[in-house]
Amino acid sequence: MKTIAVFNHKGGVGKTTLTANIGYNMAADGNRVLLADCDPQGNLSSFFGRYDMRKKSIIDGLSGKKSEYRTAYKGLDIIPGNLDCEKIHPEAEAVAQMLSQYQEDYDICLIDCAPAYSDLTASALYAADSVLIPIRLDSFSIDGIDTAMMKIQSGKEVHIIVNAFNNSRAARLFLTKLLSYGYPLCESCVRFSTVVDAANYLHKPMARKARFHAITGDLRDLTKEVEGYAFK
Ligand SMILES: Nc1ncnc2c1ncn2[C@@H]1O[C@H](COP(=O)(O)OP(=O)(O)OP(=O)(O)O)[C@@H](O)[C@H]1O
Ligand SMILES: [Mg+2]
């Protein structure tokens, strides 16, 4: 099983949206996918109808109990997170230990991280073979890239994903700047569309909400690219 963390210290850049959609697309491609919600906000768990503070969560997983649940989609399971995750301070190796019991059961694990560098985030990053950093092309997001990259242990493969690209002059300038500085940008980027928020509101992957939409195509291309990195 390959493990990919989706992380950016900056909030609202699309970590959960991309984790949900890439996870769904990878499962639709026939992979056995495990999602791990390491964000106390639990947005990924809510998306897949698995936010429930009374049921087993990542906290149980970290103490050695199996705590994955099926989602409505074939090949896509989730270890939920919830608000209680805010109170925990796992060791650096804890997430890796939790995931080690799933090595033979899944092809890929995607970890959705919180927009904070907590002990749980640090442990998720430690467990990851590679890290995806979603960004938006605005000045504050760009300022955050170096901070995010500094938090990732050296030697980990990092790929930056431009999300919610709006083709404005400023966005194009930022993109040119990032390319000229040699940041490890994914070739595929995901354009901005209000349909993404509508799909999230309905808790539906874009491929289910709007199969023929341009953004669904962007997400499919991005998934193929990430699969290429993960299984090379
Ligand atoms: N490509 C896109 N086009 C338009 N809206 C988007 C796109 N990607 C994400 N969004 C919207 O941006 C908002 C933030 O997305 P999301 O919750 O996935 O970010 P996040 O990085 O996980 O946030 P947090 O840091 O709070 O965990 C949501 O309202 C989502 O619907
Ligand atoms: Mg999120």
pTM flag (> 0.95): yes
Ligand 1 lined by 115 (C-beta under 6 Å)? yes
CA-based nearest residue to 8, from 138, 174, 97? 138
The per-residue pLDDT for 141 is 80
What is the tens place of the pLDDT at every residue in 202-226? Answer: 999 999 999 999 999 999 999 999 9
CA-based nearest residue to 4, from 164, 186, 210? 186
Ligand 1 lined by 144 (C-beta under 6 Å)? no
161 pLDDT exceeds 90?
Answer: yes
Q: What is the mean pLDDT of residues 82-111?
A: 97
Q: Do the beta carbons of residue 152 and residue 77 sit within 8 Å?
A: no
- Note residues around ion ligand 2 (Cβ under 5 angstroms): 15-16, 43
For the chain, the first-to-last Cα distance in angstroms comes to 13
Strand order of the β-sheet with 108-113 is 69-70, 76-79, 33-38, 108-113, 2-6, 130-135, 157-162
Q: At 7, which amino acid appears? A: F
The per-residue pLDDT for 155 is 87
The two beta strands, 2-6 and 76-79, are unpaired
What is the tens place of the pLDDT at every residue in 58-70? Answer: 999 999 999 999 9
What is the tens place of the pLDDT at every residue in 121-160? Answer: 999 999 999 999 999 998 888 878 999 999 998 889 999 9
Residue in 17, 37, 131 to alter for ligand 1 test, most ligand atoms within 8 A of Cβ: 17
Question: What class is the 2-227 domain?
Answer: alpha beta
Give 50 Cα–ligand 1 centroid separation in angstroms: 19
Q: Do the beta carbons of residue 119 and residue 89 sit within 8 Å?
A: yes
Tell me the DSSP string of 73-116: STTEEEE---GGGGG----TTHHHHHHHTTTTT-SEEEEEEPSS
Q: How confident is the model at residue 103 (pLDDT cuts 50, 70, 90)?
A: very high
Q: Do the beta carbons of residue 4 and residue 230 sit within 8 Å?
A: yes
Q: Is 217 exposed, middle or buried (0-12, 13-18, 19+ CB in 10 A)?
A: middle
The per-residue pLDDT for 208 is 98
What is the tens place of the pLDDT at every residue in 12-70? Answer: 999 999 999 999 999 999 999 999 999 999 999 999 999 999 999 999 999 999 999 99
